[in-house]
Chain A
């Protein structure tokens, strides 16, 4: 197979490669041959299925259009729809537990005909305050004994879009910028970014720098709860905002004719509301381990994140190997490492198979607790969200791609994600010793992608 490919390179390949090098700009070593398309349509549909929890479907469409010799406009649109169950953060109990949340506000005196809310919960009427003109309906859910508490009424819709512009300023310098918008029924995100790319050393080295500003607004269903207060069905506080600045610095280097290496450092500074308004943390009895109350969680208002990302791509005689490593840390106390391996196995001229392995491991945030203990001081920050716990995860997947012609590719990818943590932490109290405090998360994804260039 390798001989065939090498043979196919021939004079035409050498000329194209020489032209690619001479015309090169942008990312080191990744120059297009002279027949660069002016329009690229990229689309995909993702189906995501968590065992016993969230289901999601997400179609995405991107368009990239060259305008003149030096400019490229890019537009993108994505939508997703999520339903299913998500952990409440509370611990399971050997007894049935009841959870309440705000459900709806109605004018005072409106007849209530609804008897069930989403997720199999029951509607309860909250007595209105004296002089109030409206009243709140709450939703009450009973979780059976020895069952991990999940919010089964969860649903979400998200629509996201972005627009970008890339301008070539010289044969070695490019500038790009763009805006992005994302809206969910309880969350909105707006961002703007700008970046510079500079080629050096005859296009063998590329330096890039980028800056992003993001402004988010959280408006949870039922209002924003006061942190570390007891769960209730009352309508709660006002919207909360979050501001984020991100910076990325990177260097990409052609190491040899077959080897491309890239190193990036990124820094993020976040200020504002970062608590999950739907998550609870249980307060348990110091002897029996039975929950005595459920509090709304609380996370710090500021977070600084840093990561170092190293990627290597190696073109073997026929196949391509991509290996990446990421080290991450933040001032919440989370440290993580991620390793990712892809091996693209070329199967003739038009087909490929790409197995994929990913390994991830993280340490817990400083304020993660499986539960709080009744009678002990409540910490300033506390969350029982297992995504902030010590955990590890593996992804196993494979992608199969078909080149339909010179300008079209269709690919299908299937993956399995397995996340696990410590479900039996040391020092668990009473009945908690018999419970699984961190059930595994298993998810399947199916992704179908189609790209057309002309």
Chain B
């Protein structure tokens, strides 16, 4: 019985702590995200290649969206059949009712 009480007491404390951490985490989420992006951008300076090493990246297939019509058609189909949309670009117009 005592063990049970201690267990529940610990659980309640843990719950309170979790709530507090969650509130702090929510409050810090935006600044942390900005800091992470800034750090990532700063780190980007150390990553990359020289101009003459862009040969493979210059191939059309290495474009982020080499077939925009295909992407737009796929986005429209998935927008009409699933509850999610967007991601890399704007979802585009239409009812998507059917």
**Interface 0/1 of A1-45, CB less than 8 Å to B:** 000000001000110111011101001111111000000001110
Question: Chain A residue with minimal CB distance to B94?
Answer: A182
A193 an interface residue at 8 Å Cβ cutoff? yes
The number of residues on chain A lying at the interface, defined by a beta carbon within 8 Å of a beta carbon of chain B, is 105
**Interface 0/1 of B69-85, CB less than 8 Å to A:** 11011000110011111
Q: Which of B61, B78, B89 contacts A248 (CB 8 A)?
A: B89
B93 an interface residue at 8 Å Cβ cutoff? yes
Q: In the complex the two chains form, is A210's CB within 8 Å of B64's CB? A: no
B82 contact set on A, CB distance < 8 A: 336, 360, 362, 387, 391, 393, 419
Q: Which of B61, B73, B97 contacts A344 (CB 8 A)?
A: B61
B85 contact set on A, CB distance < 8 A: 305
A212 contact set on B, CB distance < 8 A: 90
**Interface 0/1 of B49-61, CB less than 8 Å to A:** 1111111111101
Interface size class of B (residues with CB under 8 A): 35 or more
Instruction: Determine how close the nearest CB of chain A comes to the CB of B13; give it in whole angstroms.
Output: 30
Bound form: Cα–Cα A411–B85 in Å? 26
On whether A205 and B48 interact (CB within 8 A), knowing A187-B95, A187-B97, A320-B61, the answer reads yes
8 tightest A-B CB contacts, nearest first: A21-B51, A204-B48, A189-B93, A17-B55, A29-B57, A182-B93, A187-B95, A309-B87
Partner-B contacts on A (CB < 8 A):
9, 13-14, 16-18, 20-22, 24, 27-33, 42-44, 46, 48, 54, 58, 60, 62, 78, 82, 86, 154, 156, 158, 160, 180-182, 184, 186-187, 189-191, 193, 200-205, 207, 210, 212, 214, 216, 218, 246, 248, 250-258, 260, 262, 264, 266, 268, 276-278, 305, 307, 309, 311, 313, 315, 320, 326, 328, 330, 332, 334, 336, 338, 344, 360, 362, 365, 387-388, 391, 393, 411, 413, 417, 419, 441, 443, 445, 447, 449
